[in-house]
Chains A and B, each alone.
Chain A
């Protein structure tokens, strides 16, 4: 396994970390309208991710930065090619971060309601768009001989990619509902479980169609194995939450996300961004990667930093391990 292959794996790891962590963040954001019945419950949900959402989002910055360093051509083609969807994601992430921090900083009803609308939409939209983006990456887009994206916005909004967007939206919302059940106490916990089961079933249907299409298009034995793991763990996660085993369900929905990302990356390899115009124009781990020296340095950095990050971020979750209920939320200040 050469260094650029290692980095292909590491990029997949960073995206897995991002979708696992911000996945339930986005889910919680969407659930503020689906699950919470009043402002206090909305606040319960928001506060389950309060201390951690910012750290979770850094997984995206790391995936972006690492792609820039390890696969500059991939970074350049992807972000200039998917310009407008990425712009929308960035705008959402900006508003979303500010919404979390500023929502409770004024007592006025309208102020808080506005930021709550913002949290819902800016969680929902990126949850969809990341799926659309990855659907397009896996399917291949119009890339010319100079590695430039030559399609337009409408090319990105094809049925397969849109289905991918629905899959990530439902998967993240399901993951978020399981997280909500795991982190809350009281009435909302029971409702989170019940809603999780429904969301889980919908996710299973959508994900199965999407992953089978992906497998038929581009799969091999390995990707089939990942597909099976994703499917089994998703069914397990639904079963576990139905049985009230929240911890197990959350672990399994996490496995579903990891297996899904793994499967997408397995169908990609050795490409990083295939061209739908000509196979010779594919961006691959070889023609898109950095020099051996840069990859070596990056490997040292990621090899040391990533386990440390997992350690101290894991510790954060332990510090904030207590469940939250409406009784823990002080009245508006």
Chain B
């Protein structure tokens, strides 16, 4: 059979397409749920209407986004069985449990309380309604935790034994699966990276409106919230990424070597900024690198030894028998760089933005602005940026809004492709994981079907987002400002009042 269309290749492409696509919605869902909840909390506490308008605005974008996240997530739950039945048979005893926990605990939370939040504006007292969005946020975070525990087990299997008789892995220590350092650092890294996405999204859209001097009070606040989120999350993403790199260096040295295209082991290994490798010959033709940095990333010293791809491949051959244990090196190398590059560019821009829009105590009185004014962007003391540069900043903020999302995608491509040829590192190879009974035609059908459907939905979703972004925060109605005092809505005397929200 043509290798390019082998069921394994197709199944991998399908998994890649559906998972990366699903994960375009996930980080924004995680972060916007919490940020919207934060804005609503500010409204409940201060009664300041700008917070309610901000809640409604970001909440609407959040809902358009989570709808896609939820429906594309259904595929994830079932495609292990569909395309990867031998994987499912082999790991189900271990891998199934966190997935079931995710559904039973996190998904129920998320989807039940989101219904209450969407339709509950005129049915629930203020504080209970607020609690609902926090429950949604908790649901998204729990879901992240369980699914990453499952994924971490694929990166670094622990708490299991191999049952030779049944030919499968069996769980022996569930707590260890949930709390191993791979799971905790991956969780930390994914959550912080998710907030980087939400923060940059808020900054970009606020910049869009502020550049046009529209909806100023709401967008001023949103810009601030977004910038602080970007900076804090960006910093923590870097810290957690560094921790994860060190964990990975110990557990999957091949992945780290591949990330660097470091063919031969070195003391004080360099970090390459750019490299063009010759995979067949096992060395780089062109390379620009900073000495010592890779050693530092792996082990916190600038001099320690980092083993190279060729060394590790030999070691793995000794342990697991003949074979090629190298992942796709160019993909690993570049995805690692794009992840860091896009993520840190966004962090840097956030830091710049936070400085440019700094508040009173760092700003001379003449440059301070009120609630209804677009903030002056002040780079140096006593002088606001010229209109040209101000505009440039707003445009940059808007157009770099998706940088962290791109970084997230490359991060997943890196960590999943960098683990190859293993599906469960050191235990089970990807080529053994596919469904033996599923035909090439079937996989091709579903791959084309999902890709086409997802492409259409992407167009629809983006158009809707653009429409609601442009529309800006809604005007508040009488009903918005008078939430019910009792559960279930207002008294019977106005039983015919239209619902605050209806599909």
Contacts and interface: CB of A to CB of B under 8 A. Distances in A.
A228 interface: no
Interface string B438-461: 100010011001100100010010
B125 to A, nearest CB: 11
20 contacts: A43-B503, A61-B77, A68-B95, A68-B96, A69-B92, A69-B99, A71-B92, A72-B168, A79-B78, A83-B446, A97-B71, A105-B64, A294-B97, A297-B174, A301-B104, A312-B113, A319-B116, A320-B123, A328-B497, A330-B498
Contact of A65 (B64, B102, B170, B450): B102
A47 interface: yes
Contacts of A242: none
Interface of B: 63-64, 67-68, 70-72, 74-75, 77-78, 80-83, 85-86, 88-89, 91-97, 99-105, 107-108, 111-116, 118-120, 123-124, 163, 168, 170-172, 174, 435-438, 442, 445-446, 449-450, 453, 457, 460, 464, 467-468, 487-489, 495-499, 502-503
Contact of B85 (A61, A77, A325): A77
Contacts of A94: 71-72, 74-75, 453, 457
Contact of A80 (B74, B120, B437): B437
A65 B74 CA distance: 11
A324 B489 CA distance: 13
Contacts of A80: 81-83, 85, 435, 437-438
Interface stretch (A49-57, A194-202, A205-213, A243-251): A49-57
Q: Which bucket holds chain A's interface residue count?
A: 35 or more
Contacts of A90: 74-75, 78
Given A58-B108, A316-B112, A148 B437 contact: yes
A47 B501 CA distance: 9
A319 B460 contact: no
A93 interface: yes
B488 A319 contact: yes
A298 interface: yes
A328 B97 CA distance: 43
A149 B437 contact: yes
A97 B70 contact: yes
A43 B489 CA distance: 20
B14 to A, nearest CB: 11
Contacts of B489: 322
Interface stretch (A219-227, A256-264, A302-310): A302-310
Contacts of B95: 68
B85 A69 contact: no
Contacts of A79: 78, 80-82, 85, 88
Given A58-B107, A86-B78, A93-B71, A69 B96 contact: yes
Contacts of A187: none
Contacts of B103: 58, 61-62, 64-66
A103 interface: yes
Contacts of A34: none
A9 interface: no
B100 A68 contact: yes
B8 to A, nearest CB: 14
Given A58-B111, A72-B92, A75-B81, 18 more contacts: A47-B499, A50-B503, A51-B116, A51-B120, A58-B112, A62-B100, A65-B100, A68-B88, A69-B93, A79-B80, A90-B78, A95-B453, A106-B467, A293-B172, A293-B174, A305-B104, A312-B113, A318-B488
A78 interface: yes
Nearest to B68: A98
A324 B498 CA distance: 9
Contacts of A312: 108, 112-113
Nearest to A81: B437
A87 B82 contact: yes
A321 interface: yes
Contacts of B77: 61, 64-65
Contact of B96 (A70, A305, A322): A70
B93 A290 contact: yes
A55 B108 contact: yes
A84 interface: yes
Contacts of A76: 81, 85-86, 88-89, 92, 435
A174 interface: no
A103 B163 CA distance: 51
Given A297-B97, A312-B112, A102 B81 contact: no
Given A81-B437, A319-B124, A293 B170 contact: yes
A83 B82 contact: yes
A106 B489 CA distance: 27
A235 B31 CA distance: 50
B438 A83 contact: yes
A50 B115 contact: yes
A218 interface: no
A319 B122 CA distance: 10
Interface in A279-333: 290-291, 293-294, 297-298, 301-302, 305-306, 309, 312-313, 316, 318-322, 324-325, 327-330
B116 A316 contact: yes
B248 to A, nearest CB: 27
Given A54-B114, A75-B81, A319-B120, A328 B93 contact: no
A44 B99 CA distance: 35
B499 A301 contact: no
